Amino acid sequence: MEHIQQLIDLIKSETLADDISEVIQIGDNEINIVLKPGADYAEVDSAVGDFQLEYVHLEPQLIINYVDENGNKFNE
């Protein structure tokens, strides 16, 4: 999906590069955002939400998981 790739590209931008190790697309409507140790989950979540609303306009069914480098989820 073009919109998901656009969001992934925005997430990987310099704005969030210090907090994110990688972004992994899982299927058509889910991504995992891997946070670096010490990253501020709330700050990254807020920025990603802003990107979704302002730039990408993704469908609400997109699932975004925030995980640490061991795969543990932040938003469960």
Q: For residue 72, is it within any domain?
A: no
Q: For residue 75, is it within any domain?
A: no
Q: For residue 33, is it within any domain?
A: yes
Domain that holds residue 15: 2-67
Q: For residue 50, is it within any domain?
A: yes
For the residues of 44-66, what is the DSSP string, one character each? Answer: HHHHHHHHIIIII---TT-EEEE
pLDDT at residue 16, as a whole number: 84
Tens digit of each residue's pLDDT (9 = 90 or more) over 10-63: 888 877 888 999 999 998 889 999 999 999 999 999 988 888 877 667 666 788
pLDDT at residue 67, as a whole number: 96
Q: Is the dihedral of CA 38, 41, 44, 48 positive or negative?
A: positive
Counted domains in the chain: 1
Task: Extract the tokens encoding 70.
Answer: 């061991």
Q: For residue 73, is it within any domain?
A: no
Q: For residue 41, is it within any domain?
A: yes
Q: For residue 76, is it within any domain?
A: no
